[in-house]
Amino acid sequence: MNNQKKLSICIVEDNVELLENLAPLIEMLDDMSLAGAYTSAEEALDQVDWFGVDILLADIDLPGMTGVELIRVACTKNPELMPLAYTVYEDRETVFGALEAGAYGYILKGMNFDELVDSIRQLASGGAPMSAAVARKVIGSFRERSDIQDCEPLSIREKSLLALVADGLGYKEIAAHLNISPHTVHAHVRNIYAKLHVSNRHEALSVATKLGYLVKPGA
């Protein structure tokens, strides 16, 4: 007889049909048990004994409290909890919001049941399951942060000039505004591009925004 403790799984999923399909399948597995299946975060937080739960399978787009908020609150109730985001959303803001809230993995809906179970088992074994598209975004973000950290600081004049570029002014207008020649504006722009490791206006404004150079006072 196998005396190994079963993984206790709590599912919070807004799609009732999906929830009704997943719950009995989880119950049928030899190594998993169902701690509860709910359609809202509020219901789950009210009814679940979180200290008995190993893995939270959480949809992100829930009515009322979001899945990200659910993950954050549930982790305060059980610091050993391993949340796994299970959603259709793969935008960077949502992905990092869930990971920062405490999710150990982030998988996209559309996979078959065996793949989902494999992700849960990976998580329980110390892994961090992520759908390929999500993993690519995470890696890309770290590369982007590394590139930004390598940027040289801009001078006060360069920051002022870049702010005018962001406001949509052309080189002649910037020259008149700063009382310098268009040639000098071009020189400053080249220096800005070199310091920020960019090759065009769009990239320069994007990096400058992330570095905080274009934040308006009081914003």
- The predicted pLDDT at position 217 comes to 45
CB 103 within 8 A of CB 71: yes
Report the amino acid identity of residue 213.
Y
The third-level CATH classification (topology) of the domain covering 151-210 is Arc Repressor Mutant, subunit A (1.10.10)
The rounded distance, in Å, linking the Cα atoms of 49 and 60 is 21
Indicate whether this model's pTM tops 0.85.
Answer: no
The rounded distance, in Å, linking the Cα atoms of 115 and 218 is 48
Domain ranges of the chain: 7-143, 151-210
Q: What is the DSSP letter of 150?
A: T
What would the pLDDT profile of 103-154 be if each residue is shown by its tens digit?
Answer: 999 999 999 999 999 999 999 999 999 988 887 776 666 555 555 566 778 8
Instruction: For the chain, give the number of residues.
Output: 219
| Superfamily (CATH) of domain 7-143 | Response regulator (3.40.50.2300)
Same fold, 7-143 and 151-210: no
Band (pLDDT 50/70/90 cuts) for residue 219 is very low
- The predicted pLDDT at position 137 comes to 72
Is residue 46 pLDDT above 60, yes or no? Answer: yes
- The predicted pLDDT at position 199 comes to 78
Burial of 15 (0-12, 13-18, 19+ CB in 10 A): middle
